[in-house]
Amino acid sequence: MKLSLDPAVTAPRNITRESLVLSAWYDANPAVRRLWAVKDSRALRVIVALEPTVDDSDTSPAWLAYGQIWAREIRSGTGSFVELEMVEEPSVDEIEIDAEGEIIAALCWRDPTLLWSAA
């Protein structure tokens, strides 16, 4: 499955309770720059790209400090088995993941690399 960095392409088809929980969680966690969530028959797969540290472009400190906590928070809010993973900020227009299912969240309003244009 390919996840586009263009929010218009990756936008979920339906708003679900899980997508609302993920939206609130994303809003409450400024270290997360982008979030995609894919729901399949066995798990909720949440893929995040993190903000780099202030003095570096390293995202590992936040991931090491909060990764397990974040997975528990999402699992608690959604009631689903959660597979949380981090991807480095991609330099291409999409990322390839080994997953099948429905995209239920694609959040990126915090990402400064997006250029929004007025219609």
Is the pLDDT reported for residue 116 higher than 60? no
Average pLDDT over the chain, rounded to whole?
A: 81
Please give the residue range of the domain that contains residue 45. Answer: 2-107
Per-residue pLDDT tens over the stretch 37-50: 999 888 999 999 88
Is the pLDDT reported for residue 10 higher than 90? no
If one compares 51 and 79, the residue with the highest pLDDT of the two is 79
Residue 75 falls inside a structural domain: yes
- Residue 12 sits in a domain of what CATH number? 3.30.70
pLDDT attached to residue 118: 44
Exposure b/e, 47-77, CB count within 10 A at least 16 = b: bbbbbbeeeeeebeebbeebbeebbebbeeb
Q: How many domains are there within the chain?
A: 1
pLDDT attached to residue 26: 96
pLDDT attached to residue 117: 46
Residue 112 falls inside a structural domain: no
